[in-house]
Amino acid sequence: MEESFKIYIHHLKNRDHEEIEESFDPVFLEISETDLKFEAKVRVKGNAALAEDVLVLSLGVQTEASMPCAICNTFTTVPIEKNFQFIEEISNIKNGVFNFKEELREAILLEVPQIAECHSGNCPERGLLKKYFSHKDKSAFPLEF
């Protein structure tokens, strides 16, 4: 599996770009949280290219995270979709091989929302919580500077 995350610079020297289309097992994300799970494949599509003395990776990623609903605490699936670029100077790439696993992991984890709500934001138990929220008149608390 580790081999799939590698970009070989010498392959790019005689090409315009190299296409990347892979599906990865989410194990590489190394998540061991009870309230965050990745079970769906991580799909990556894009390309790698050399631009003078830098490697440019333009990637789109799609996967799903599972986390508890903020209202009912039932696990719900949250889509993770992101297009992004990685840029690395060729002089920083050891042995002419760039491994983008850590950059991909970081980009995915930055897209995980802090909270999720089941049923696309319409949790059926939302109405049960109304009695716990107070809706005070905001004019009773004027802003002071």
Residue 117 in this model has a pLDDT that exceeds 80: yes
**Whole-model pTM over 0.85:** no
Decide if 26 contacts 80 (C-beta within 8 A).
Answer: no
Query: Side-chain half-sphere of 48: how many Cα atoms within 13 Å?
Result: 22
Tell me the CA distances in angstroms from 62 to 1, 19, 92, 118, one per residue in order.
Answer: 18, 17, 28, 19
3-47 pLDDT, tens digit each: 589 999 988 887 778 899 999 999 999 999 999 999 999 999 999
Tell me the CA distances in angstroms from 41 to 18, 75, 121, 126, one per residue in order.
Answer: 22, 18, 24, 31
Residue 78 in this model has a pLDDT that exceeds 50: yes
In 3D space, the residue among 29, 50, 63, 45 whose CA is nearest the CA of residue 98 turns out to be: 50
What value does the mean pLDDT of the chain take?
A: 87
Q: Where are the domains of the chain?
A: 2-122
Residue 128 in this model has a pLDDT that exceeds 90: no
